[in-house]
Chain A
Amino acid sequence: MVTNGFIAPSSLSVKDLPWQVHWSRDRCTLCGRCTAVCPVHAIELAVFRKRAVQPVLGLKEPPSSLFQVFYGIRQKTDPAYACIGCAMCTMVCPNEAIIPVRSDEADKLRYHVNRGGQPRRRGGRRNMPDGVLDRIKFTRISMLTDPALDAGRHEFELRTLLGRILPPEDSLQLLKDEGWIPPVREIYPLIIGGMSFGALSPNMWEGLQMGVAYLNEELGMPVRMCTGEGGCPPRLLRSRFLKYVILQIASGYFGWDEIIHALPEMKEDPCAVEIKYGQGAKPGDGGLLMWYKVNQLIAAIRGVPSGVSLPSPPTHQTMYSIEEAVAKMIQSMSMAWGFRVPVYPKISGTSTALAVLNNLTRNPYAAGLAIDGEDGGTGAAYNVSLDHMGHPIASNLRDCYLNLVKLGKQNELPLFAGGGIGKRGNLAANAAALIMLGASGVQIGKYIMQAAAGCVGSESDRCNVCNIGICPKGITSQDPRLYRRLDPELVAERVVDVFLAFDTEFKKIVAPLGRSTSLPIGMSDALGVDDRNIAERLQIRYVV
């Protein structure tokens, strides 16, 4: 063994990595499941050599060295194979012999994950655990309400409207004159946001759709789910379940051939059409489905060759300006369904959101605006975009709502907020806070992946390999060997569990505030926060 083994600048020790795999030789049965399941091949079976001095009893023979060989698990230190902390090894180990442990100091890997001049690309989340939403409290308890509302017994109507709502005078006049009144859907305020067929595995998608269908048909909860860009399986397009689906169109137009062709055969209109201009996790970037995930099925639905990366451009390149894009696309999408389907754009949280909103208020066909804040997740993005780009949702949404109030158009153009709702698990509280700040409803993506499918990602850079199709849980993988791990039926059950639990918690928030028959949109007098600056910025109460 040479004393000065080859050490390059990027030679890292295990200690330099964000995750160290602790393995117990005493407990290991050498079954090999951990190395088989590791999505990034961070561990391998290894042969270890060991010298031991073995003194012999008596004086007949002198003490001697004994060389032993044993087998075990070795963690690779090559940056390309660094452990991502997903803990699938722990999950499959029969003896609890192995577990990844987070380093006790900042890792050095972050300086070396740009090999070949390629900056780090990953899927997932922003990896910042904190946020304003969790600091907001509901401070206006309705003590004058005597008797108080009972979340368990009183009737609640937790519904929101998706679609352009005309001022009462115009609306009633149009009704009288039999004029065109924009379509409006009464839906549940918690929406499953755009995660495409392609970004998600077929099993995950099927599970979500089944869950949504059950919620609607068996439990009477009008839950809606957005497709994301990438089209929709043809059978779904022609089924009655399409009414629970919000079709998304983005700048790559992936899957839209299929949708357009299915139009004459559609039994139901979709719930709505969402035109994606941006997403919170990587504002100003387009979509990207990396080639690892474009298998034959995905290629067929999207109408592209398989095995190639599918980037959507950051803008709708057939349009001259956002004004034109918003006007023309909204109008033509509306027209495609005979002006019976609400069409609205989705943008990333940005300080220019107000400009888009003002533009929409003057467009009679615009049915709403979805804003996705910086904490949104994505299937694939550059690390720098995920971590550093974008606008927090709370103030962005609040600005937009207050702007509508100023124009007298609050809730005429419903605002839907996304990005970081429930990122610390407080789904109902975060959603309620956003609704009281002015959102008509909220969109969730990551939360539903974590809650319904057991996505192991967390807000501390764990896993985050959604982009390369090796999702260890089979949620975002297109490899049948992986997505077979995910049972769609069980995902559907979890979706139902999540929505029912949310419903209960949401009632537990609105009931003490005295609200039950209408969603407390804009009920900002109920909110308080322990930071004077936040309070001032959001125009809510400062409480300590």
Chain B
Amino acid sequence: MCRLFAVTSQEPQSPMMAIQALDVMREGHDGSGVGLFLSDLGGPFEEFKGAPVLSGIFSNAGLKRLDQFMMNIGFMTKYKLSIKVPKGAPPSGAPRRDIYLIRAYEYPEEWESLSEADIRHRLLMIRLQLRQMGEEEGDMIVFSFWPDVVMIKEIGDPMSVAEYLQLDRRELYARIIMAQGRQNTNYAINLYACHPFFIQGVASMTNGENTAFIPIREFLESRGFPGYMGYQSDSEVFTHILHYTIYRLGLGIEAYKHIITPLQDPDLEKHPNGAFLKQVKHSCRRLIIDGPNCVIGCLPDKSVFMVQDRKKLRPGVVGGKPGLYAFSSEICGLDAAIPDRDKSKDFQPMHLDTAVIGPQRREVTLWSQTDSLPLLH
């Protein structure tokens, strides 16, 4: 099983905080891979909040192709962090890479007049194009291309990889960190299968197994949206369902749980928004997950949340103190990261709950599926 850890903090934190929490939970994962999502960045990237940041892994040849490509479409580099790998052998299982690149760009001039939706679309298309170019030549792997987002993924034990890449550096400090330990085991080992997944400001990671993967994938792929692709992992659909909920259906995070794990009919009949939710249940039936899963994610507004599958068969806990909260697969991970919190306020979301920590990081907001929804119309 995978182990998840996410932190949202007023003060930028080192990614090592999350890696250490994963290390404490090592009995729950096999150390076969690690993925990191960093947002609300501190360090030098803070100065480039609105600028799109590209993160990925490149060979030397790939880097040249990238430079050429980005220059052609008018993107200028504003700031870059290249993690050149140390001379020694990489950790067990990790291939030798040329460069881990995180680079902030300046938008081309003609983009200035574009609407937010247009920019969102174009950034996505560029990432997809880069991904495709990389898959053709095998010289680049692109995880994200979005303002204020950095992603790093690699095969191998999280702690060894982190030490190897020296992730404890100021440039990578961030207020939101999501980390997952273990590679995808459903299909072949592939970095694109590594959590967290990201699309247009929406990120999520999951432990467990999504047994409804194939029908959900078929549904998402048939939506005609170019970003709904990839699916080297059965968990990628969680990110895309969230994206679909927010951008295509115009619903909020509180509807996400109703889409992936709808209430049963007798409960719907008693629900104050029963008619609406029944319609959601019917029309979004193809997006129902069957679990068992714990999903931790980050929304475009920098809220971080956790939800459980209908049967609540995966562990998950949220806790912390005002200004610093964390979501963890296990309490020991939370203990390692925030030992001085009030443990009596730790909360383990059950099958009806959604736990959200807003961008203010003042408290954990809890929604039960039986509660009435915030204003819909």
* Chain A interface (Cβ < 8 Å from any Cβ of B): 140, 142, 144-147, 149, 154-155, 157, 161, 165-172, 175-176, 181, 184, 186, 405-411, 513-518, 520-525
Contacts and interface: CB of A to CB of B under 8 A. Distances in A.
Nearest to A438: B215
Given A145-B292, A168-B248, A410 B211 contact: no
A516 B282 CA distance: 17
B106 interface: no
A146 B292 CA distance: 8
Most A CB atoms within 10 A — which of B212, B276, B290? B290
A161 B292 contact: no
B213 A525 contact: yes
Interface in B191-218: 208-209, 211-215, 218
B280 A168 contact: yes
B185 A144 contact: yes
A523 B212 contact: yes
Given A410-B222, A523-B215, 16 more contacts: A145-B313, A161-B285, A168-B280, A168-B283, A168-B284, A169-B248, A170-B283, A171-B282, A172-B249, A172-B251, A405-B218, A405-B222, A518-B212, A518-B290, A521-B215, A525-B214
Given A513-B211, A514-B291, A517-B310, A166 B218 contact: no
Nearest to B286: A411
A515 B265 contact: no
B290 A410 contact: no
The 3 closest A-B pairs by CB, nearest first: A408-B222, A514-B211, A171-B283
B79 to A, nearest CB: 39
B86 interface: no
A430 to B, nearest CB: 20
B215 A408 contact: no
B285 A518 contact: yes
Nearest to A521: B215
Given A167-B283, A181-B279, A515 B212 contact: yes
A157 B213 CA distance: 18
A146 B249 contact: no
A408 B249 contact: no
B97 interface: no
**Interface SS, B side:** loop
Contact of A165 (B214, B222, B283): B283
A407 to B, nearest CB: 7
Interface residues of B, number: 40
Most B CB atoms within 10 A — which of A140, A145, A411? A145
B284 A522 contact: no
A142 B285 contact: no
Nearest to B210: A514
A489 B185 CA distance: 53
B87 interface: no
Contact of B214 (A149, A154, A514, A524): A524
Nearest to A175: B279
A155 B1 CA distance: 23
Contacts of A525: 213-214
Contacts of A144: 1, 185-186, 208-209
**Interface SS, A side:** loop
A338 B262 CA distance: 29
A169 B212 contact: no
Contact of B211 (A145, A147, A524): A145
Interface string B301-327: 000000000110100000000000000
A521 B264 CA distance: 18
Contact of B311 (A140, A154, A165): A154
B222 A407 contact: yes
A145 B210 CA distance: 9
Given A165-B282, A516-B311, A175 B291 contact: no
Contact of A186 (B185, B265, B275, B310): B265
Contacts of A513: 211
A514 B377 CA distance: 36
A405 B214 CA distance: 11
Interface of B: 1, 185-186, 208-209, 211-215, 218-219, 222-224, 244, 248-251, 261, 264-265, 275-276, 279-280, 282-286, 288, 290-292, 310-311, 313, 377
Contacts of A409: 222
A172 B283 contact: yes
Nearest to B275: A175
A142 B311 contact: no
Contacts of B264: 155, 157
Contacts of A184: 282
Contacts of B250: 172
B180 to A, nearest CB: 15
B291 A410 contact: no
A162 to B, nearest CB: 11
B285 A175 contact: no
B276 A175 contact: yes
A78 B280 CA distance: 65
B279 A172 contact: yes
Nearest to A406: B222
B215 A410 contact: yes
A346 to B, nearest CB: 22
A329 B4 CA distance: 55
A145 B288 contact: no
B219 A142 contact: no
Contacts of A142: 209, 211
29 contacts: A142-B209, A142-B211, A144-B208, A145-B209, A165-B282, A165-B285, A168-B244, A168-B249, A168-B283, A169-B248, A170-B283, A172-B279, A172-B280, A172-B283, A175-B275, A176-B377, A408-B219, A408-B224, A409-B222, A411-B286, A514-B292, A515-B290, A520-B211, A520-B212, A521-B215, A522-B214, A522-B218, A525-B213, A525-B214
Nearest to B292: A145
A169 B209 CA distance: 28
Given A157-B264, A171-B283, A523 B214 contact: yes
A23 B223 CA distance: 68
Nearest to A167: B283
B242 to A, nearest CB: 14
A165 B265 CA distance: 17
Contacts of B251: 172
Contacts of B222: 405-410
B313 A161 contact: no
B274 to A, nearest CB: 12
A139 B290 CA distance: 18
Contacts of B377: 176
Nearest to A171: B283
Contacts of A410: 215, 218-219, 222, 286
Contacts of A523: 211-212, 214-215
B211 A411 contact: no
Contacts of A521: 215
Contacts of B212: 515, 518, 520, 523
A329 B211 CA distance: 39
Contacts of A522: 214-215, 218
